Amino acid sequence: MAVYTEVSDEALRAFLAEYELGDLLAFRGIAEGVENSNYALRTAKGDFILTLYEKRVDPKELPYFLGLMDYLAFRGVPCPTPVEGRDGETLRSLCGRPAAICTFLEGVWPRRVRPEHLAPLGAALAKLHAAGAGFPEFRPNALGPKGWAPLLDGCRAGGDEVAPGLIAELDMHLAAILAAWPPASALPDGQIHADLFPDNVFFLPDAAGRPQVSGLIDFYFACTDLLAYDVAVCLNAWCFEPDGSFNVTKARALIGAYTAVRPLWPAERAALPVLCRGAAIRFLLTRLYDWTHTPPGALVTRKDPLEYLRKLRFFARATGPGDLGA
């Protein structure tokens, strides 16, 4: 469920009067997503997405996110383009929330990831990294290594109720990850998506029926960080089977297509196992935090933190990048 703020017909029509999008023909709330309120709009000019930014998004950071999407879209990345109002602004206010309209992207995110999805994903990720190279803004990764200890501290009270011994195990993993984390200057950095999960990637079949990436959405965790960390996020989110096993064929397809566009440095390959452990603990911790702080019956769908404990344990056992398809 992700319509936290209800928008009336009248409020929306007044809001749309600020744009040159023609008459409103239809609009509906979108149930998917967890962070913001999203509406699908149809106007005389076509289909659009209206997003009202909810409390987890800091309004001060919206110019970075919208600016990055605009920059990437202009350079051929299939991501939403923020739509300017008559005054040239993309960010305004609706029902007391910051709000923006973006272009609608065709396609469907894969409910079941197949090996054929991984090569187009890898190529799209590398193109995103290449296209973002000249973007002048810097946004530190709030959910990067410096953010993990405070998140874990916030989970201490309820964490062991989710799984006995969980907090002690996470203390152990976190200390090992932070000790092995590559220094910022050791690997190339740039603008990363940082949450490129299957529900943020749309596909359409090409003429031969093979899936092609048609859209990358949800840039609200994007930041300036190690490029290979984005690969590690994708290895976590795309390369495990429902039974918990790691699918190295998928990983090889992802990394092979990525490197065909943007070759990984030897140091990036070598760092992949610890970057994967870092990505696993990042999603584990935010899920655990939400799990232990969301009252039962709240509108937000809580995601299973233990899925990422199993992934973290797998990556901690990896003997080198070869185990991860690199």
Ligand X SMILES: Nc1ncnc2c1ncn2[C@@H]1O[C@H](COP(=O)(O)OP(=O)(O)O)[C@@H](O)[C@H]1O
**Residue 141 makes contact with ligand LJ64HWYM by CB under 6 A:** no
Shortest Å, Cβ 18 to ligand X: 19
Q: Mask 39-58, x = binds ligand X (CB under 6 A)?
A: ----------x---------
DSSP letters along 154-179, please? TTHHHHHHHSTTHHHHHHHHHHHHHH
Q: Between residue 297 and residue 316, which ones bind ligand X under the rule CB under 6 A?
A: none
- Written as six digits, the tokens of 11 are 């409020």
> If we measure between CA atoms, which residue out of 300, 15, 305, 28 comes closest to residue 151?
305
**Residue 220 makes contact with ligand X by CB under 6 A:** yes
Looking at the Cβ atoms of 3 and 34, the one nearer to ligand LJ64HWYM is 34
| Dihedral (Cα; 202, 205, 211, 213), 10-degree rounding | -40
- Report what 239 binds from ligand LJ64HWYM, ligand X, none; CB cut-off 5-8 Å by kind: none
DSSP alpha helices (H): ranges in the chain? Answer: 9-16, 62-74, 115-131, 145-153, 156-162, 166-180, 227-238, 248-261, 266-293, 305-317
> If we measure between CA atoms, which residue out of 129, 164, 163 comes closest to residue 234?
129
With contacts defined by CB under 6 A, how many residues of the chain interact with ligand LJ64HWYM? Answer: 12
Query: Among 85-93, 150-158, 281-289, 316-324, which window interacts with ligand LJ64HWYM (CB under 6 A)?
Result: 281-289
Looking at the Cβ atoms of 50 and 279, the one nearer to ligand X is 50
Looking at the Cβ atoms of 21 and 121, the one nearer to ligand LJ64HWYM is 121
Whose structure tokens read 């600020």?
18
Whose structure tokens read 């469920």?
1
Q: Between residue 178 and residue 217, which ones bind ligand LJ64HWYM under the rule CB under 6 A?
A: 195, 197, 199-200
Which DSSP helix (H) or strand (E) runs through 191?
strand 189-192
**Residue 305 makes contact with ligand LJ64HWYM by CB under 6 A:** no
- Among 7, 15, 36, 284, the residue binding ligand X under the rule CB under 6 A is 36
Looking at the Cβ atoms of 246 and 283, the one nearer to ligand LJ64HWYM is 283
N-terminal to C-terminal alpha carbon distance within the chain: 37
- Written as six digits, the tokens of 58 are 């800091």
Number of other residues whose CB lies within 10 A of the CB of residue 283: 21
Shortest Å, Cβ 269 to ligand X: 30
- Among 18, 199, 307, 323, the residue binding ligand X under the rule CB under 6 A is 199
Give the footprint of ligand X on this chain (CB under 6 A).
2, 30, 32-36, 38, 49, 80, 102, 104-105, 199-200, 217-218, 220
